[in-house]
Amino acid sequence: MIDGLAGVPAALSPLGRKDFAPNDQVRWCPGCGDHAILTTLQGVLADLGIRRENVVVVSGIGCASRLPYYLDCYGLHSIHGRAPAIATAIAMARPDLSVWVVAGDGDALSIGGNHLIHALRRNVNLNILVFNNRIYGLTKGQASPTSAPGAITPSTPAGLVDAPFNPIALALGAGATFVARSLDSSRAQLAEVLTAAARHRGASMVEIYQNCHIFNDGAFDTLRGPGSGLIPLRDGQPIVFGENDSLGVVRRPDGSLAVADVAEVGLPNVVIHDAHATDPGIAFELAQLTDTVALSQAPVGIFRDVDAPAYDDQARAQVSVADDPTERLAAVQRDITGTDAWTIGAENH
């Protein structure tokens, strides 16, 4: 696989999690899932061995978007939904940086949906983290694009009638080359996914189920604890889950995927996960196993991790036509001007 950290300078000495933890007070509600995600990310960045001055985190608007304040590296608290666009410019201009985007489900999938899908389809070398608590937290609990049908909120007092987004399916449909999902309380698995995302060259999107205990408490309780509906995806391994791995993902005669009792179908008939499959349809099928309404089950782990040219690498190559900066600028100007142009004389101004 192509290393997403190629060209990013390594730290001069080993780093620990606390090196990425500033002295600023963390102003999230006590018990918020954001705390666990922050701590995990701090540890991942330290383990990756990147210099703090070569890490930049861009966020939009929302509770999750306060995260840049709580990382001792460069950060930018930008505007609602536009973090991927701003991060794209940074990644293009500075290949020596590890660029991260942090957004909530409302920020990323509502006003920022267009920017998200284009960053993914272009395959910009970004790590996009979508904190999904299925609600608008900062603005006091309105329904978001991932809220469950029937949800009673200040914006849907009679019950939500929208069909919720499946962010994994959305990312795969946009052509994302790295797509994964984790849970805020699954610290080890989250760290594993974030590390893989950072090392992937191109656009990485990680959806993180994150509990908001003020406005949507317990939204992911069905996926916590032994015997839950959490379906771990391990590359090269049978897709089994449940108590004692009694359930497995199998392929029906019509080609679609379904959950079955392993004792009845036999382990050899359980689907083997291939995160590196070129065909995104396989990962898309797995995304459809997500119960977006009751969350009775949801696959977690890396759905897709494939190599493809990164947008920013290709864009930089276009302007690196010569070592002479003057010639490089002239070449770019020729491309912009083209052959059908004329110069207006000073007397016409």
Same domain, 196 and 266: no
| pLDDT exceeds cutoff 70 at 323 | no
Q: Is residue 126 over pLDDT 90?
A: yes
Can you point out the beta strands (E) in the chain? 55-59, 74-77, 98-104, 127-132, 178-183, 204-209, 230-233, 240-241, 247-251, 257-261, 298-305
Q: Are 189 and 180 in contact (CB under 8 A)?
A: no
CATH number at residue 132: 3.40.50.970
| Per-residue model confidence (pLDDT) at position 266 | 97
Residues pairing with 260 in the sheet: 248
Q: Clarify whether residues 68 and 215 are in a common domain.
A: yes
**What band does 322 get if pLDDT is binned at 50, 70 and 90?**
low
Q: Does 250 share its domain with 267?
A: yes
Q: Which of 147-156, 160-169, 290-299, 340-349 has the lowest mean pLDDT?
A: 340-349
* Cα separation, 36 vs 185, whole angstroms: 7
Please check the confidence at residue 348 and state whether its pLDDT lies above 60. no
Q: Are residues 103 and 217 in the same domain?
A: yes
| Same-domain check for residues 123 and 246 | no
Least confident interval from 2-6, 107-111, 118-122, 273-277: 2-6
Give tens-digit pLDDT for 39-83. Answer: 999 999 999 999 999 999 999 999 999 999 999 999 999 999 999
Residues 100 and 121 placed together within one structural domain of the fold: yes
**pLDDT per position as a tens digit, 207-232:** 999 999 999 999 999 998 888 899 99
More confident residue, 326 or 122: 122
User: Average pLDDT of the chain?
Assistant: 93
Domain shared by 199 and 164, yes or no = yes
Mean pLDDT of 308-331: 80
Q: Tell me whether residue 153 is in a domain.
A: yes
Count the domains in the chain. Answer: 3
Do 61 and 170 sit in the same domain of this protein? yes
Domain co-membership, 161 together with 124: yes
Predicted confidence band of residue 321 (pLDDT cuts 50, 70, 90): low
For residue 165, give both structure tokens: 């987004």
Partners of 209 in the β-ladder:
132, 183
- pLDDT one-digit tens code per residue, 254-279: 999 999 999 999 999 999 999 999 99
Domain extent at residue 201:
17-236+273-309
